[in-house]
Structure 1
Amino acid sequence: MKKLRRLFLAVLIHSAFSGSPALAASAADNTQTVLIGFAGPLAWPLAQSGQYGVQLAIDEANRAGYSMNGKKIVFKLLAMDDKADVAVAGFVAKSMVTAGVAGVIGHWLSAPTIVAAPIYAAAGVPQISASAAAPEFTQQGYATSFRAVGSSEDVAIAIAEFATQELKSKRIAIIDDTTAFGARMAELFAEQFRSPNQVVVRSTVSNKTSDFNAVLTQFTAGEVDLIFFGGYLRRSEDLVRARQRLRVSAKLFLTGSVVNPIFLSMIQGAGDGLFASAPGKHYEEHPQFKALEKNFHAKFRTGISVYTVSSYDACNTLIAAIKKANSLEPHRIVEELHKIRHKGLLGTVAFDANGNLQNPAFTVYRIQDQRWVPVKTYDVRRKSCAPDIGTGTAACDRN
């Protein structure tokens, strides 16, 4: 087994560097290559869009030019595939450290991100996730761990407020796909309601199945006016199709990564009454977005998702910290990340002492005319206790 692991690690490193110009940097040309890592399931279209966002930020930084200690800095992307597997994520993190990255954008899913964190922390390498929402990531106490989007705790507050105040939901079914993300998201959402009568159904489905029939037929027509689903993109597609097939009238609120053109093509018009939340403010309204969109389409010939933008913001934040530190010493970069305020497309990126986004924002979208249309944006302020959303009255003050 140990031989197999060593062989796998060697293959990862070889595949990452094979033909890479990062190893070809020459002292004679007075340049210095700085590696920025990206880790995630690279075969997944959405993770790939995040990788592209990092590459775009790197390209822009290199065009702008930057020198350190008399040498021109050339940023290079080192992308590694963790296959959304916690075992592989550990090998990838060690490979990133061995390669000498200045920082890592990733990992993609929460579980691999959490597993990789102590490895980066031991090496002092900053890790900024642009997608992992599990609160546990930044609760491990590592100074090197940062999150460029709000956590599941943050978004649960925004979704619950929207469900009760905007959708006027009074009878809610909560379902999750038993993944670490989905189950935790459903739990946090349920905690926002103090009235036991509001959550009338609480169910789970296996993340290995596409069968939602039993879950959706356990309540009668009209018994539920909103279905909340904590789960990933593939199971979300299955739920949408089952809801349409069974003619369930309740509105559906999805989580995870569905606010993107990929999901719209997957459900093919079955989006009536669908809502979802996405990190950050509505980025298409940002004055810099048109230029980014033009450059992105010209280079990658594909659509932009919110996680393209969050990854772009995370990489730009890391590069800004490197420039402020004027050093490639990991601890200097980490120190600057704890102080930084970077204006990103999704909002200002600034971290609290634990590495969480200080003032996370979320936008609720709905499907309209085969497009995700923004409905309302929430600026979340963390609080020490939960408000009584069921009655609409605050039980405590937000921090």
Structure 2
Amino acid sequence: MPQAAATPQLLRRVNAQAVLRVVRELEVAATGTELMARTGLTRASVIAVCEDLIHRGWIRELDTSGSPGTLRKGRPARRFELNAEAGYVLGVDIGAATTTAAVADLRGKVIARSSEAFRAVDLPAAERIAVVDRACRRALAAAGTDPARVLAAGAGVAAPVDRDGNVLVTQHFWSLFDVGLRSAFKELHGWTVLLENDANLAALGERWRGSGAGVDDLVVLLAGERLGAGVIESGRLLHGRSGAAGEMGYLERVEGVGSSDGIASLARQWSAAGNARRAGGAASARRVFEDAAAGDAAALQILERISERMARVIASIASLINPEQVVIGGAVAESAGVLLPRINTLLPRFTATPPRVTVSPLGDSIVTVGAIRHALDYVEHNALELELPGRA
């Protein structure tokens, strides 16, 4: 496939994206020399880009004149920093039972978040959209801003989503998320909504701010109720033809696994089975982990079973994809760390290419973190076409 010609417009966009990425990542203001070193651009190009971005409101130049009477040798270096409050992005996690919206500035700092519950799993599209919208508006209000200042929204759903943002509807559960969110939010607020699979966003978030930071061959397993994987290969997020890369239905056919049930679900199921024999009730996943920490024999046996099952799951992923690292993520990650020693011991029995296995430090915010990263990527890529609020 022939490459697009390097037109002046394309070069301006690429250069602006490079400069914006650097000033966002730096905690302090950057000099022109630092920007040259980090972007590979010439001084003339750096200064031209910075002047353009200042005019558009994306960055600002700091005053380097010093206090009156200060003696300076030579010309002070110009220093530039991101105008992080020039606009905001939203990161939205849309599950079956709840939705969470997080508001972040242009540096990716989360300012506020809000969660809302759905009254049922199978809802009319308009009602599901209304609940998501309420979570977004409440998060924006808590952040002290309004919908007009949102530059983009990343949104994760528990269903495959193709590269064009279309939900795969070949299963009933997946179809519950095909509600027309992108068009609805465009009409309601004028927002660009970047729809993506939740595990894919988890992978983006983990590679950005989690234990997999900077890893180019990474798999993130959302492992709470059901297993789903986000796959990054050679630094690229994998989708597959219809967005179903990372779907775990094949586990029904894997020996010693048998389903895509996640850690929390298995802990409850096996606790309930054991307690039924003792005329007791089912324990929550958290309670199972707490009982195991206290030395309860039945709970320890459940964790042993979960560890072996997860080792088989991770081994199947390692055999297919050969990642450097597999991360167990989601709300269950806080407890899953106790499984790691046994998983790592078992892995060489099931695969010749065992990856490094970690748990995510991002907890149940992993999808919103990835959604924010996804939205920031869009904003940086389109900075020269986006109009910042108040600068029309």
TM-score bracket, normalised by the shorter chain, equals 0.3 to 0.5
Larger radius of gyration: 2
Provide the TM-score with structure 2 as the length reference: 0.33
